[in-house]
Structure 1
Amino acid sequence: MERRKFLIGVGGSSLGASAIIGSGAFTRIESQRRVKIEVAEDPDAYLGLDGCPDSDNSSYTEIDDSGHLAVEMSPENENSDNDLGSGINSDSFTWFDNVFQICNQGKQDVCVWIDASITEGLELDEDYDDEDIVDFYLGGNREQSLVGEENGILLPVGECICVGIATVTKGLEAGDQLLEDDEIVIHADADAECDSEIVDNGRTAISFAAFCSSTPPTPTADIITISNIVFKTNDELEPVGFSWKSDDDVPIDRIVLKGGREWYVYNFDPGQKSGFVEMEGEDADAYVQPGDQDQLDELEISERSPCGDGFSGVKFEWDSDTGFTPEDD
């Protein structure tokens, strides 16, 4: 069992975790994390902790001089371009998708969950007393909590998950520390049963994604990396969102997602080299609802030419066995 501190406070926060050192297989690990928002953990340990790859929120993390992961949500974080102020805002709901990742680098599949106890005496305003002051959730799926054994998910050998952090501070005061003893425990148990309730976020699953550019060079499959996939449920491999990155000097001007009869179009001006996209109309630049051929014609996109007129690119189709695969593969 490994214990680490997490310091999450209103007006001054940090999230931390230290390393799991050892050799051989593990059956159960309880990894307690320290937050200053500061996390510490050796990325190469059997239960590896690191910043979430290709996520903007991984800028809150760094590897300290001891080789441990640190998550710093305060002005002391020199890696973040965000104006962090003096900590988490009071009187607010705050979400940080895809902050850090947990990897199973052992020899057995494990059930993973997080225990996080709130500091005694903290109470939200009565209108919000059914909310969780702090929650840890899967990737960018804010509906799928990882807190409590009942919410444990299976993490196969060699696989990783990213974890988001949510806070509710309605009625709290500056200086409040949110977690009891400034600790959380990350459990990885090969003997536990991951029989959590199936959570469906209600979105249509992605059938393909197209990465497009309006100027040379044309994006190709070998320069696109897709990671941190968010699934429709915690039971089936049906993607509804993902992080992406373009290697080399090839910015992406447009990403088109299609699922069922729905289309979501993301335009980037200027072109971007990384980001997160999902089947969510609130975030997309254009949403085409089922049967709206007029809007498809206006956007000049189709299954055969998903990037649209004036764009060229590469199309990845989803396969539950192979993941996102270039159309010609």
Structure 2
Amino acid sequence: MSIEVANDANAYLGMKTLDTPNSNNYVEYDGNGHLTIDVGEHDDFDGPDTQPGEGVNSDSFTWFDGMFQLCNQGKAEANISYELPDPPAERDIPGNWTAPGDGYDEQVVGFYYISEGGDDPGEEGDRIFVPEGDSVPLPVGECREMGVRTVTKGVDATTDAPLIDGDVVVTADSPAAGAPNGTDPS
């Protein structure tokens, strides 16, 4: 048996930076080749000659288009899902990551892709939010440009703690990957 380990960009589920303003400013690889996202305080902001920001606005929805790309570099279709870490203890966020503001049942942090029309939900160009635990099919050889959305309705901006801090687990489930010709064995 031989099993290789690859960095995020070269793995069967490729996680790649993009040449977009958001990816260039907030996404990079760590020393182990893992994709990292940091939309906190930056002193190296690649933008206009102004004071850099320190995070997302309170009481708002923030969409970061074009953060990274997920690519199915395996041998069969995969269903992609993710799991968030526990909310920071200093934050008033329930364990299910729901915004604490009255009337909001929106997930505080999550990922989305842009609809390409056809079999995708919504109209071409729509942002399609993927709730934690839901999965999205990714055909072999195809990529999805991913974005990050935050909802800070009712989140206290004066609390000195990040909105999210920890590892997000991305899972690619591909039952057909080990089957002959990539057919589903069930």
TM-score higher than 0.5: yes
2:174 paired residue number: 190
Structure 1 residues 90, 118: CA separation in 2 closer, same or farther (over 3 Å shift)?
farther
* 2:114/2:127 contact within 8 Å kept: no
1:224 paired residue number: none
| 1:154 Cα offset (Å) | 1.8
TM alignment of 1:1-329, pairs within 5 A: 22=5, 42-51=8-17, 53-59=18-24, 60-76=26-42, 78=44, 80-81=46-47, 84-116=52-84, 119=87, 121-122=92-93, 123-128=99-104, 130-139=105-114, 143-150=127-134, 152-174=135-157, 175-179=160-164, 182-191=166-175
SS at 1:145's partner residue? strand
| Percent identity between the two aligned chains | 38
Deviation sequence 1:207-265 (CA, Å, 0-9, x none): xxxxxxxxxxxxxxxxxxxxxxxxxxxxxxxxxxxxxxxxxxxxxxxxxxxxxxxxxxx
Q: Distance in 1 between matches of 2:66 and 2:78?
A: 20
Q: How many residues of Structure 1 are paired with residues of Structure 2 in the alignment?
A: 151
1:223 paired residue number: none
Structure 1 residues 96, 170: CA separation in 2 closer, same or farther (over 3 Å shift)?
same
Deviation sequence 1:48-67 (CA, Å, 0-9, x none): 1121x343211122234443
- The residue type equivalent to 2:22 in the other structure is N
Structure 1 residues 112, 93: CA separation in 2 closer, same or farther (over 3 Å shift)?
same
Q: Distance in 1 between matches of 2:33 and 2:45?
A: 16
Runs of 4+ with >4 A deviation: 140-143
* 1:46/1:105 contact within 8 Å kept: yes
Q: Distance in 2 between matches of 1:149 and 1:43?
A: 23
Q: Distance in 1 between matches of 2:38 and 2:163?
A: 15
* 1:73/1:84 contact within 8 Å kept: no
- The residue type equivalent to 2:163 in the other structure is L
| 1:164 Cα offset (Å) | 0.8
Q: Distance in 2 between matches of 1:183 and 1:69?
A: 10
Q: Distance in 2 between matches of 1:131 and 1:22?
A: 36
- Ranges in structure 2 where 5+ consecutive residues have no aligned partner: 94-98, 116-124, 177-186
- Ranges in structure 1 where 5+ consecutive residues have no aligned partner: 1-20, 24-40, 193-329
Please, what is the CA RMSD of the aligned residues? 2.9
TM-score w.r.t. the length of structure 2 is 0.66
SS at 1:58's partner residue? helix
* 1:113/1:148 contact within 8 Å kept: yes
Structure 1 residues 134, 142: CA separation in 2 closer, same or farther (over 3 Å shift)?
farther
Q: Distance in 1 between matches of 2:30 and 2:172?
A: 24
Q: Distance in 2 between matches of 1:191 and 1:77?
A: 44
* 1:103/1:158 contact within 8 Å kept: yes
SS at 1:126's partner residue? coil
| 1:72 Cα offset (Å) | 2.4
Deviation sequence 1:112-153 (CA, Å, 0-9, x none): 12223662741522133x222112111376642223444x22
Q: Distance in 1 between matches of 2:70 and 2:43?
A: 21
TM-score w.r.t. the length of structure 1 is 0.40
SS at 2:58's partner residue? coil
2:96 paired residue number: none
Q: Which structure is larger by alpha-carbon Rg, 1 or 2?
A: 1
**Greater length-normalized contact order (CA 8 Å, ≥ 6 residues apart):** 2
